Amino acid sequence: MAKKRILIKGGRIIDPDGDFDQIGDILIEDGLISHRGDAQGSSADTVIEAKGKIVMPAMVDMHVHLREPGREDKETIASGTTAALRGGVTSVLAMPNTNPAIDSPEHIELLSQIIKKTAHIEVLICGTITKKREGLELSDITALKKKGALAITDDGSSVDDLELMRKAFQEAKKCGLLVICHSEDKKLSGDGAVNLGFTSTRLGLKGISKESEYKRVARDVELAKETGARIHIAHVSCKESIEIIARAKQQKIAVSAETAPHYFTLCDQAVLGFDTNMKMNPPLRGKEDLEAIKEGLRQGIIDAIASDHAPHASSEKDIEFDRAAFGVIGLETELAVAITELVEPGILSWLQLAKAVSYNPAKILGIDKGKLSVGSPAEIVVISPDQEWVVRKEAFLSKSKNSCFLEKKLKGQVIYTIHQGQVKWSL
């Protein structure tokens, strides 16, 4: 396939690698950024007029449930990666809680075949910590790494057995693999459905305490310190977790963390009215947690923003609240939500945003993405920063529609998504 030359003209270039924030041109040739700055006189097959637009690295979303293999009714790699393009995402880390779970080189092979055939963007592979994610027996972590897994996680549940988790950390350390921690002590969260507190009381629903999250964060941070393993705390939702992570970072423990757009946009009051699209795990927390998440992003304690894109069929959502599935989709809205909630009010600069959505997660996963320097792979998103749009159920490209941002007005529209030097999506 002959790669075309693309010229992105006159945009505001945001490159977190080197804190570059200037108006200029970017020339793309053979899938790479070949020139940055003034490209006057360069010829191109495609010219993108980017005056007044933001040009930044395409997003690297390190927490995405693509559901394939196993639940192709909810999402497939094809549909999920199409949705990703619309949202400005060109790399995703696919969570391994599929059916079968990605717990062996064979299952990685199976997944890789589907990715090769159907993915529209780069789908990165993550293995499980334990076989079938049962928390009983370790997966062959070294074999997973050899077969191409960039990380391991039992996301959806935590490994309760401390000894087993210690072994997993030791194994991961040995082969240099990242461990992504879903932090939840099921003994404490039980069959709760919403944040424990006045909201759970008002709704008459069982609560999920913050303790069930941050105590597990503390345990895993302690284990990381002890074993030297590199860990990443998934979907941080509460103030106490951030405090633990901040202390760990001060102690130079190899820990990074992510949060999801709903945690810096919504608080538990959004659940009043029993909208199951407001049900996710961890649950939406209190107002002070929401503020702490924003502050954690601002200070860089939380490294990354990831969608925790969790598609569910309407039959799993249009049921009684306590029986409804946890999780929301997010690939198509995350960038706009982050712009609306973080950049617009001045909590994050564009550079900080670019770090959180691309540069940092790329670094955590050890991939050469999230940059716009000359020679970098052309993974680029062009954003119209002032363009407003409303999230509509019908408009989603994802197979599932369980968004917590339905009918929300957002600012910032992705107008071009470039992957491997080609325009893969444009408005």
**Is the torsion defined by CA of 153, 154, 158, 159 positive or negative?**
negative
Residue 394 within binding range of another protein, rule CB under 8 A: no
* Contact window for another protein (CB under 8 A) among 31-39, 166-174, 192-200, 341-349: 192-200
Q: Pairing mode, if any, of strands 231-233 and 255-259?
A: parallel
Is-contact 266 278, C-beta < 8 A? yes
Nearest residue (CB) to another protein, 79 versus 403: 403
**Residue 70 has which token pair?**
């196993």
Cα 13 to its chain centre, rounded Å, is 23
Question: Quick check: is 21 catalytic?
Answer: no
Q: 252 in the Ramachandran plot: left (φ > 0), alpha (ψ -120 to 50) or beta?
A: left
Q: Given the complex with another protein, which of 328 and 357 has the nearer CB atom?
A: 328
Q: From the list 38, 291, 318, 388, which residue makes contact with another protein (rule: CB under 8 A)?
A: 318
187 near another protein, judged by CB under 8 A: no
Interface with another protein, residue 319, by CB under 8 A: yes
Interface with another protein, residue 409, by CB under 8 A: no
Residue 199 near another protein by CB under 8 A: yes
Q: How far is the CB of 204 from another protein (least distance, A)?
A: 3
CB of 70 to another protein, least distance (A): 21
Q: Tokens standing for 395?
A: 């408009």
DSSP 3: P
Q: What does the alpha-carbon distance between residue 424 and residue 84 come to, in Å, rounded to a whole number? A: 11
Q: Which of 204, 252, 345, 394 binds another protein (CB under 8 A)?
A: 204
In the set 25, 154, 303, 308, the catalytic residue is 308
Q: Which of 31, 100, 197, 300 binds another protein (CB under 8 A)?
A: 197
Long-range contacts of 33-40 (CB under 8 A, 24+ apart): 33/372, 33/373, 33/374, 33/375, 33/376, 33/377, 33/378, 33/380, 34/374, 35/374, 36/372, 36/373, 36/374, 39/7, 39/9
Residues 260-279 that bind another protein (CB under 8 A): 273-274
Amino acid at position 274, single letter: F
**Strands, E assignment, 151-261:** 151-152, 178-181, 194-195, 207-208, 231-233, 255-259
Of 409, 410, 406, nearest to 385 by C-alpha is: 410
In eight-state DSSP terms, residue 370 is: S
Residue 323 engages another protein in binding (rule: CB under 8 A)? yes
What is the pattern of x (binds another protein, CB under 8 A) and - over residues 297-316?
Answer: ------------------x-
CB of 318 to another protein, least distance (A): 6
Interaction between residue 288 and another protein (CB under 8 A): no
> How far apart are the C-alpha atoms of 270 and 160, rounded to whole Å?
30
Query: According to CB under 8 A, which one of 159, 203, 336, 356 is a site residue for another protein?
Result: 203
The answer to whether residue 196 forms part of the interface with another protein (CB under 8 A) is: yes
CB of 393 to another protein, least distance (A): 14
By the 10 Å C-beta count (0-12 exposed, 13-18 middle, 19+ buried), 266 is classed as buried
Residue 215, amino acid: K
| Nearer to another protein (CB atom), residue 64 or residue 194 | 194
Helix, strand, coil share of the chain (percent; to 5): 35, 25, 40
Could you tell me the two tokens for 40? 């006057």
228 phi/psi in degrees, rounded to 5? 80, 10
Q: Least distance (Å) from another protein to the CB of residue 293?
A: 20
Determine, following the binding rule CB under 8 A, whether residue 425 of this chain makes contact with another protein: no
Residue type at 300? Answer: G
Q: Please tell me whether residue 200 binds another protein under the rule CB under 8 A.
A: yes
Phi, psi at 274, each rounded to 5°: 65, 35
Smallest gap from residue 320 Cβ to another protein (A):
4
Closest distance of CB 201 from another protein, Å: 4
User: In this chain, which stretch among 11-19, 57-65, 218-226, 320-328 interacts with another protein, using CB under 8 A?
Assistant: 320-328
Which span sits near another protein by CB under 8 A: 30-38, 79-87, 198-206, 353-361? 198-206
Q: In the chain, count H helices and then E strands.
A: 13, 18
Q: 128 or 209: whose CB is closer to another protein?
A: 209
Interface residue with another protein among 69, 87, 135, 207 (CB under 8 A) is 207
| Binding track over 105-144 against another protein, x by CB under 8 A | ----------------------------------------
* Residues tagged active-site: 308
Q: Which residues bind another protein (CB under 8 A)?
A: 196-205, 207, 273-274, 315, 318-323
